[in-house]
Amino acid sequence: MDQNNNKKPNNQKGNNWRGFIHLICWAVLLAVLVSYATTYMTSMGRQASSVELEYSEFLDMLDFGKVAGVDFDNSESILLITPVDGYVYTDGEGREYTKTTLEDGTSAYTFTNALGQEQHASLELFTVRLQSYDAIVEHIQELNRQSGSHGEGEGIRINQDYQPPMSPILLFLVNLAPFFIIILVMSLVMSWMAKKGMGGIGGIGGVGKSNAKVYMEKSTGVTFKDVAGQDEAKESLTEIIDFLHNPGKYTEIGAKLPKGALLVGPPGTGKTLLAKAVAGEANVPFFSISGSDFVEMFVGVGASRVRDLFKEASKVAPCIVFIDEIDTIGKSRDNRMGGNDEREQTLNQLLAEMDGFDPTKGVILLAATNRPEVLDQALLRPGRFDRRITIDRPNLAGRVATLEVHTRNIRLGEDVNLKKVALATAGCVGADLANLVNEAALRAVRKGRKLVSQEDMLAAFELVIAGTEKKGSVLTEFEKKLVAYHEVGHAMVAYKQKNTEPVQKITIVPHTQGSLGYTLLMPEEDKTELRTREELMAKITVSMGGRAAEEVVMDTMTNGASQDIQDATNVARNMVAMFGMSEEFGMMALASRRNQYLDGGYGMDCAQDTAARMDKAVKALLDEAYKTAVEVIRDNREDMDKVVAYLLEKETITGAEMVAIIEGRDPALVESPYASTRPAEIEAPAKKVHMISEKIVAPEEPVPEAGEKASEKPEEEESRDS
């Protein structure tokens, strides 16, 4: 690989010279063809209406006074003859042409056709010049003196604009001048493009030039302090930074640094930001390029760009090369559906470069993707991307740290509780939190405040999930009452069940996301992705609460529950297909996850008749949850009516206010509107325990009574103690 790279500049110069010579040859050939075509067309046009006379006949015409003018044609060395009016030219067929001058001053020849009609023809008489210009002019002037014609316009007219003809070589160069000018302009343009890094004659338009942008530590301005919520990922990358600072420490013991690290995670988690932070911490050059920049419509361009990128990186090593969205060029090579030669060649060149460069030079390759399942296995094997670092959605502590980073330059009020905001934003990534903080700051400015309050933070969160309020929307009394019972149905089912999140807010104000109202549930503590069957069923039941309230109270159904039904169906289908929570199928996996970090969709891995039976199992779960929701609504009808009446008056209430109404207290006296809404009869979930590596001391064994043999051998005791 190094030998090819060393030869590349000389080859590039040779290609430029060859391209320049080819350009000149084509220009010369084009000039010759144009010149020949021009001469041929001129000659053919002249032959169509010209009549050649013998030179002796021309001299006789001069002597007999039948010539009115003589013009010299220097390009073909001929004489153009203009006869006097009345001159009769007879062609080979005996037809006579009489020279006349028309009213507009043009010359014409009249003849009689076969029908006896008089017609005009345009003829041009010429003869080959056999004497020099001076001899012909002297002869004509002598004839003019003999006839006594001395004034202007009298006698035989002679062309006085005569110029000596050019030499053939000079005439050819004159014809080539425009093409040489074009060649000069094109050469200047190509030279300018080459200096700007856009290629020259050997790479027109820069199709083979890498578009990687080099960032230094001062320009990135990103360090690990700017990345929060990804402590595990930063710990994995710290070793790479230490190697770039102290390579001798690793080479001394014989260790080799991993050639590449693959950053995997959902969109917006900070993969690109983390790569820039690594370059900033290591204080080394940072090459950044997107996977789509390699792929062009020309086959071989992507491979050329890969070679150019690694060549430039090796010159400034140690450095970091970052390829974003590597799945664009790193997809698995599969010819079943037709391959992509350009993408596959680019991938092959990338694999070859990763095998070819010396890891001791300090060229570290980082790549990011949110579709690791589609990557080629050759790209993921040890020796290429040795490490796979997951950049997942941050947990509660990570979201708090992320909010602290994004609010570093935001003026916050004393009432702002970032932990409360972090609890509400479960499942959000770093980009979502950054957008939330910015929306809160914009809302504070709109309200005329100098500080961002907790209300602004929660309002920004609601803006993200539900959109802005539709202040101009008008609902009828029936529609307003229907929406109120629908939302209170969700809240009541969530309040009366175990394994649910507390109610935070209820509103019947329409929003731009399409909802006429919503119920906000907020966890009291952070939860992992681990869910029990009871928790999943409770989630489905809460989703069914709105439709159950419509049927029980209003004795009707609306399309407002469409999103609730879809959410409940997805949870139930996952329980049957992937979680093994159905009685019929048990631990059988009927589907598999396809896009883990994108839409989370899955594909069916079962027969069609099995899928039909799976649908029946899903319906059984939904029916069970809906039955539970209807029972809760019927058992708490009086409390619902009280909450709905208050909600219709206020349009927006908190969960604490709903609890106060149910317990018979005045909702206006609620001190903390965001207090916990968990009923006293429902036990709180178990507190989370932080797992640490501690030695567990075994309990002391009871002393055996006399005469009783020890049940365990010393070897067994020793192994148990160890």
- Is the pLDDT score of 202 beyond 50? no
Mean pLDDT of 499-510: 85
- Is the pLDDT score of 517 beyond 70? yes
Radius of gyration of the chain (CA): 46
* Separation of alpha carbons 394 and 418, rounded Å: 14
What is the predicted pLDDT for the residue at 170? Answer: 63
- Tell me which of 489-493, 595-599, 604-608 is least confident: 595-599
What is the predicted pLDDT for the residue at 276? Answer: 83
What is the predicted pLDDT for the residue at 57? Answer: 85
What is the predicted pLDDT for the residue at 712? Answer: 45
| Of residues 43 and 224, more confidently modeled | 224
Name the band, by pLDDT with cuts 50, 70 and 90, for residue 524. low
- Is the pLDDT score of 35 beyond 80? no
Name the band, by pLDDT with cuts 50, 70 and 90, for residue 31. low
Range of 113-122, 154-163, 418-427 with top mean pLDDT: 418-427
What is the predicted pLDDT for the residue at 259? Answer: 78
* Separation of alpha carbons 408 and 402, rounded Å: 10
HSE, CB side, 13 Å, CA atoms: give it for residue 538: 18
What share of the chain in percent tops pLDDT 70?
71
* Separation of alpha carbons 81 and 652, rounded Å: 106
Mean pLDDT of 638-666: 88
* Separation of alpha carbons 63 and 70, rounded Å: 14
What is the predicted pLDDT for the residue at 45? Answer: 43
Please say whether the beta carbons of 612 and 570 come within 8 A: no
What is the predicted pLDDT for the residue at 49? Answer: 64
What is the predicted pLDDT for the residue at 203? Answer: 43
* Separation of alpha carbons 187 and 318, rounded Å: 37
- Is the pLDDT score of 9 beyond 70? no
Name the band, by pLDDT with cuts 50, 70 and 90, for residue 46. very low
Burial 552-590 (b: 16+ CB within 10 A, else e): bbeeeeeebbeebbeebbebbbbbbbeeebbeebeeeeb
In sequence order, the β-bridge partners of residue 97 are 89
* Separation of alpha carbons 679 and 676, rounded Å: 9
Q: What is the mean pLDDT of the chain?
A: 76
Closest residue by Cα to residue 232 from 434, 433, 419, 392: 392
What is the predicted pLDDT for the residue at 162? Answer: 47
What is the predicted pLDDT for the residue at 385? Answer: 84
- Is the pLDDT score of 159 beyond 50? yes
Q: Which strands form 213-215's sheet, in the order they lie side by side?
A: 213-215, 286-290, 319-324, 363-369, 260-264, 387-390
| Of residues 673 and 599, more confidently modeled | 599
Identity (one letter) of the amino acid at 561? A
Instruction: Please list, in sequence order, all residues whose beta carbon lies within 8 angstroms of the beta carbon of residue 12, skipping any fewer than 6 positions away.
Output: 202
Mean pLDDT of 652-656: 85
What is the predicted pLDDT for the residue at 714? Answer: 46
Please say whether the beta carbons of 155 and 147 come within 8 A: yes
In sequence order, the β-bridge partners of residue 121 are 109
- Is the pLDDT score of 236 beyond 90? no
- Is the pLDDT score of 608 beyond 60? yes
What is the predicted pLDDT for the residue at 240? Answer: 78
Identity (one letter) of the amino acid at 255? A
Bridge pairing between strands 96-101 and 107-112: antiparallel
- The catalytic site residues sit at 487
391 CB burial (10 A radius; 0-12, 13-18, 19+): buried
* Separation of alpha carbons 486 and 474, rounded Å: 18
* Separation of alpha carbons 217 and 234, rounded Å: 18
What is the predicted pLDDT for the residue at 720? Answer: 41
| Of residues 19 and 537, more confidently modeled | 537
Helix, strand, coil % over all residues of the chain, rounded to 5: 50, 15, 35
Instruction: Please list, in sequence order, all residues whose beta carbon lies within 8 angstroms of the beta carbon of residue 276, skipping any fewer than 6 positions away.
Output: 215, 220, 222, 286, 288, 322
* Separation of alpha carbons 128 and 131, rounded Å: 9
Please say whether the beta carbons of 603 and 594 come within 8 A: yes
The helix or strand, by DSSP H or E, that contains position 300, with its residue range, turns out to be: none
- Tell me which of 127-136, 570-579, 581-590 is least confident: 127-136
What is the predicted pLDDT for the residue at 430? Answer: 86
Specify the DSSP class assigned to residue 507: E
pTM reported for the whole predicted model:
0.61
What is the predicted pLDDT for the residue at 470? Answer: 65
The beta strand positions in 375-418, using DSSP E, are 387-390
Q: Is 555 left (phi over 0), alpha (psi -120 to 50) or beta?
A: left
* Separation of alpha carbons 194 and 200, rounded Å: 5
Mean pLDDT of 65-93: 80
* Separation of alpha carbons 565 and 236, rounded Å: 42
What is the predicted pLDDT for the residue at 569? Answer: 93
* Separation of alpha carbons 375 and 351, rounded Å: 13
Identity (one letter) of the amino acid at 216? M
What is the predicted pLDDT for the residue at 28? Answer: 67
| Of residues 385 and 46, more confidently modeled | 385
pLDDT digits (tens, 9 = 90+) for 432-475: 899 999 999 999 999 898 999 988 888 888 777 766 666 666 77
Q: Is 586 left (phi over 0), alpha (psi -120 to 50) or beta?
A: left
Query: What is the CA angle 250-215-258, rounded to 5?
Result: 25
Q: Using CA of residue 200, residue 205, residue 210, residue 216, what is the dihedral sign?
A: positive
Helical segments of 201-340, H only? 217-220, 231-245, 247-251, 271-282, 301-315
What share of the chain in percent tops pLDDT 90?
11
- Is the pLDDT score of 319 beyond 70? yes
What is the predicted pLDDT for the residue at 371? Answer: 84
Q: Two tokens at 273?
A: 């930001």
How many distinct helices (H) and strands (E) make up the chain?
22, 20
How many residues make up the chain in this entry?
A: 722
Q: Write the CA distances from 488 to 469, 504, 633, 649, 651, integer angstroms.
A: 19, 12, 10, 14, 12
Q: What are phi and psi of 435, to 5 degrees?
A: -65, -40
Q: Two tokens at 131?
A: 């004497």
Mean pLDDT of 18-28: 64
